[in-house]
Structure 1
Amino acid sequence: MHSQIVYLDNNATTRPFPEVVAAVTRSLESDWANPSSPHGFGQAAARTVALSREQVARLLGVRAEQVVFTSGATEANEAVLRYHATLGATLITSTAEHPAVAGFYFRHMPQKVRTVPLDKSGRWRLDALESVLEAVSGPKLIAFAWANGETGVLQDLTAIKLMAHKYCAVCLIDASQAVGRVVFEADSVSYFTFSGHKLHGPKGIGILIQPGTVPQVEVLIGGGQERGLRGGTLNVSGIVGLGVACELRKRNLESAIARMGRLRDSFEKQVIAAIPDVRVNGSDTQRVPNTASLTIQGVDGMALVARLEARGIICSQVSACSSGQPEPSRTLLAMGLSRDDAYSSLRIAFAVDTKEDDVDFAAQTMVEEALFLREMMGGLV
């Protein structure tokens, strides 16, 4: 009998690696001084921060001076949005984006928002994006998640950035679900953001990558920390944990990507073979290797998630920031799914520390519970 908890909600957060936990603990014990202090203890903490900044930069392929530490992608995104709002920029985004990507404009400047629809695969329609860019005058900011947190679908980063360049727009790219799962593609004209807890790092720490050819964004005004770009005493232990997480992934990036892809493909294959009328959302386009979004027709997704948890399998229906709302996934609706099909969907997200036998157990259990619910609900069998 399988007695362990099988955690498959890694797009909400990941378990910190043991090396990360150990590094954070050591930092709290030895690097407790303020890194802005001029004395030896403070400067020792400052050197630790500098090393962590280099570790992050090496994974992302950017210069260390481009990395600004924040509390997470949400803070970094909002700083960029607020800055471009002061310039009078029109925000170009999609209705399927995570609230952290574009929520400031939707709440405070809805009249300056233009939206781009998704195609059935979950990608931005590039023809629609070009039409919006042609129609908008003045400053323009394109904001989107590189990898969708529910489906894992990757946007066509190269095409969007080329179009942005053509129409003199700037890109804000939330890479929280992409870092460590694909090869990073930084450039000199786009902002990138990321949260450490998506990569087995601590919560409450993230980064903003400042592009080299546009004005620097001030995240927080304060005492001049982070080269004057984000005030406030640095979260040294969180920064250390993030640096170690990035260093670990840098060492095994290709093998980690391959392993997560094998786990996801094995899971999808087993479920599809055993349950009729299952659709893998976004499977006809590029996805991050760890994410499976399944629509199981005739099954209440919320009930299935609850029954799986009762048997020790942890997954979800939508992103963690939306899971308290009884509405269907906006992403799936934007892809053309009906409300019923969106309600019949759930998300499975693997990690490099997911075990093969856990994948098999989760697939077998999902098959059993889904077929049971279909029979109880009088659906397809």
Structure 2
Amino acid sequence: MKIVTILGARPQFVKASALSRGVAALNREGNSITESIVHTGQHYDIDMSDVFFSELNIPRPKLKLAASASDRTLRFSEMLAGLSPFLLQEKPDVVLVFGDTDTTLAGALAASHLSIPVAHVEAGLRSFNTAMPEETNRVLTDHMASYLFCPTTTAITNLAHEGIADSDSIKVVQCGDIQLETLKHYAQTSEPNPALKQQLDTLAGENGQFALVTLHRAENTSDRGRLSGMLDGIRKVAKSLPVVFPVHPGTRKKMQEFGLPLEDENILLLHPVGFLDMIGLLKRASLVMTDSGGLQKEAYFLQTPCVTLRRETEWVELVEHGFNDLAGVEAESIATSVKSMLNKQYDWGHTLYGKGDTSHVILETLIRSLNK
């Protein structure tokens, strides 16, 4: 079986590492699976890209594009112009894409145009907020895919409501969440690097408590009012709980453009951190505030309460079971949500996203189907 895996953003690198380990394991058992990786360059900053390949032992990309234009239309055209010739040359049995980024949709479009089957990992997720580019990306990708690998029963139900169901030509498979697999592999040994640990100890003091923040979605960062409100919310939280904030390059740029500095002795602003440092931060944090989808799950896997800086989430199970609270983007609601989540008791015994064998389920499904 010949797979082309198309990646472009941090969450995809994390998920792809589990699949690459799964490919290696099956090959050791006598299978013959070739995986070629394409990096579109959507995340081009070394702290958001290259570090993940080295930390997570992902095979180096066979093709690396530079599709990092700020204009989405131009970025899609750059990706398609690079992907199509490569896929024609490689002639893979299947193109595998992850999640909901522009890279996801571009990969699905390029493969579909060439009549190459598309496998979508994290299929069926819906926020039902069509103003989010990610929502459009995931819906369109699902409707082009031949293999839809769903993390939850909710995702399968969402697909069924859109007329997508398991059939002779389409495989819809509940496989659990692939991020869990990566977390299980690295969580026991991941700790912040010594320099970062020293900064945390200084910031958090004797009790060691702090909140971890990430913020990157365009719907939040490109609107000055929304971004200002969220930064004000972070300041309110920092009055009683120190805050660690690895700042996404795009967010930092918007903060500078809008004249919204975040200078506070109780807020530690960092450059983006690698996956292992982030897991170390999550393990130590008292709570995480984020607009990221992937970090919501990583927090749950590591038993850290989460406040989501959005009005909706694809990961509805986390909200239903009380591990995650939707705070919105207003300063007061963010501060109130954080206070509530810090004072709650949690039952972490639920198993919401499978048992950590997602890559095996995906690869075995593809092998059986393609070898018919």
TM-score range for the pair, normalised by the shorter chain length: 0.3 to 0.5
TM-score by length of 2: 0.33
TM-score by length of 1: 0.33
